[in-house]
A = this chain, B = another copy of it.
Amino acid sequence: MVNCSLRKILLTVEYFGKNYAGWQCQKGQQSVQGVLEEKLSKALNQQIKVYGSGRTDAKAHALGQRAHFFYAGNMPCEKIASAVNCHLPDDIRITESVEIFDSDFHAQYSAKSKTYMYKFYISRTLSPIRNLTAAQIPCHESKVDFEKMQRAVKNLIGTHDFKGFSSVGSGIKNTVRTIFDASLTKKDNEITLVIKGNGFLYNMVRIIAGTLVWIGIGRLGEDAIEKTLQSGLRKNAGKTFPAHGLTLLSVEY
Contacts and interface: CB of A to CB of B under 8 A. Distances in A.
| Most B Cβ at <10 Å: residue of A14, A82, A85 | A14
Interface string A1-44: 00000000000001110000000000000000000000000000
A81 to B, nearest CB: 7
Contacts of A133: 129, 132
Contact of A128 (B81, B92, B127, B129): B92
Interface residues of A, number: 23
A125 interface: yes
Interface of A is mostly: mixed
A15 B15 CA distance: 22
Contacts of A247: 129
Report copies per complex.
2
Contacts of A126: 85, 90, 93
A61 interface: yes
A87 to B, nearest CB: 13
A95 to B, nearest CB: 5
Contacts of A82: 125
A131 B81 contact: no
24 contacts: A14-B127, A14-B128, A14-B129, A15-B128, A16-B129, A16-B132, A61-B129, A63-B129, A81-B125, A85-B125, A85-B126, A90-B126, A90-B128, A90-B131, A92-B128, A93-B125, A93-B126, A93-B127, A93-B128, A95-B125, A95-B127, A129-B133, A132-B132, A132-B133
Given A61-B129, A93-B125, A95-B125, 15 more contacts: A14-B128, A14-B129, A16-B128, A16-B129, A16-B132, A63-B129, A82-B125, A85-B126, A90-B128, A92-B128, A93-B127, A93-B128, A95-B127, A132-B132, A132-B133
